[in-house]
Amino acid sequence: MNPRNIYLIGFSGTGKSTVARLLGAELGWSNWDVDQLIVAQSGMAIPAIFAAEGEADFRLRESLALRTAAEAQPVVVATGGGAVLRDENRALMAETGWVIALEARPETIQQRIAAQLRQATPDAVRPLLDADDQLEQARALKQRRQHLYALADWTVHTDRLNAEQVVAEIIRAVELLEKLVDPQ
């Protein structure tokens, strides 16, 4: 039987994409980034999808991309920050893998996103954080979703960790979770 997938959930700027890449390499698994898959499947950048189709249609594309990524079992999947919003996504992740939440304080998130924007990292522009007071917007949106991030099997607080340390924490967590399921 294939091992369970590993899904990284959490708000923007918590390091999901970077950590998924490193974790996939460490485990010898493929890794998928749901945002990148949406861009590949639609041929449109994420801000363009939000502008042309609105958030509801973006969420449908996100669910489709998540289902595609989940099929590559075993796979490490970096989800988008809002992927936890739809019941169907949460059910798929819980059924087929371990759900690991990456956490960070709003101030950390704001600093990381600002750095990504300065470096013109692809997907650095988050339409839902496009506000005059980006910190307040991140704080409010994150707070509304916190009960969904809290459903994860494990949570890693990333503020003081580099990506390699987060990867090590996730591997430790998954080993522990597997032992709890199969205590031999």
Candidates 22-30, 77-85, 103-111, 168-176: pick the segment binding ligand S3P (CB under 6 A): 77-85
Q: Does 46 bind ligand S3P (CB under 6 A)?
A: yes
The torsion angles phi and psi of 90, rounded to 5 degrees, stand at -65, -40
Candidates 88-96, 101-109, 125-133, 170-178: pick the segment binding ligand S3P (CB under 6 A): 125-133
- Contacting residues for 125 by C-beta, under 8 A, at least 6 apart: 46, 47, 117
The pair of structure tokens assigned to 94 is 């819980």
The angle subtended at Cα 159 by Cα 50 and Cα 127, nearest 5°, is 10
**Residue 4 or 126 having the CB closest to ligand S3P:** 126
The pair of structure tokens assigned to 79 is 């989800």
Q: Does 106 bind ligand S3P (CB under 6 A)?
A: no
Q: Does 27 bind ligand S3P (CB under 6 A)?
A: no
Q: Does 24 bind ligand S3P (CB under 6 A)?
A: no
As measured in angstroms, the least distance from the Cβ of 64 to ligand S3P is: 13
Q: Which residue is nearest to ligand S3P (CB)?
A: 80
CB distance 54 to 77 below 8 Å: no
Beta bridge partners of 31: 76
